[in-house]
Amino acid sequence: MKKYIGIACVLAAVGLLLTIDAKEPVQKADLIVVEKAKRTLTLYANGKVLKSYKVALGNNPVGAKQVEGDGKTPEGRYTIDSVNRASSYHLSLHISYPSAADVARATSMAKSAGGDIMIHGLPNGYAWVGAAHRLHDWTAGCIAVTNPEIEEIVKLVPLGTPVEIRP
């Protein structure tokens, strides 16, 4: 009888440990909102804030991106359409810029709308800069976070997630 009680106690303890160690499933974002004036990127799931990050923007941040090389971060509604794990920056999520309207606007000025707008970490080899990268806007139009932040964002943001970039 003692043998069975001992086995039952061991099984109960193992069950308790498994319950304690079981992790809640990670909730994925269903919307990204970038507020340029506040320099924030916020992940939402079902209308609730999952996480918010401070960001650096394009080196000419006021106003919507018009043409390639203007240093502006776009404004509007886009989607996350790919992940680049071999980026020149520590991971990147590609934003579906330019939209048809972006292309038409640039074409009306006889210019290219550009592309390659990303949410990304720091340039490879510059992780040591950390949060200090946010002291000024430095990208060519992208949205930059620290390397640990982009690692977290990549885990939380599935392909197809809408991105709203607001002034």
Q: What is the CATH number of the domain that holds 114?
A: 2.40.440.10
Quick check: is 6 in a domain? Answer: no
Output the CA–CA distances (angstroms, integers) from residue 104 to 82, 114, 116, 138, in the order listed: 23, 12, 17, 27
Count how many residues are written for the chain: 167
Residue numbers in the chain where pLDDT is lower than 50:
4-14, 16-17, 19-21
* Structural domain containing residue 68: 26-166
pTM score, whole prediction: 0.84
Helix and strand element counts for the chain (H, E): 3, 8
Q: Which helix (H) or strand (E) holds 6?
A: helix 2-21
Task: Give residue 1's pLDDT.
Answer: 52
Quick check: is 120 in a domain? Answer: yes
Q: Report the domain count for the chain.
A: 1
Both tokens of residue 122? 């720091």
Task: Give residue 15's pLDDT.
Answer: 52
Quick check: is 91 in a domain? Answer: yes
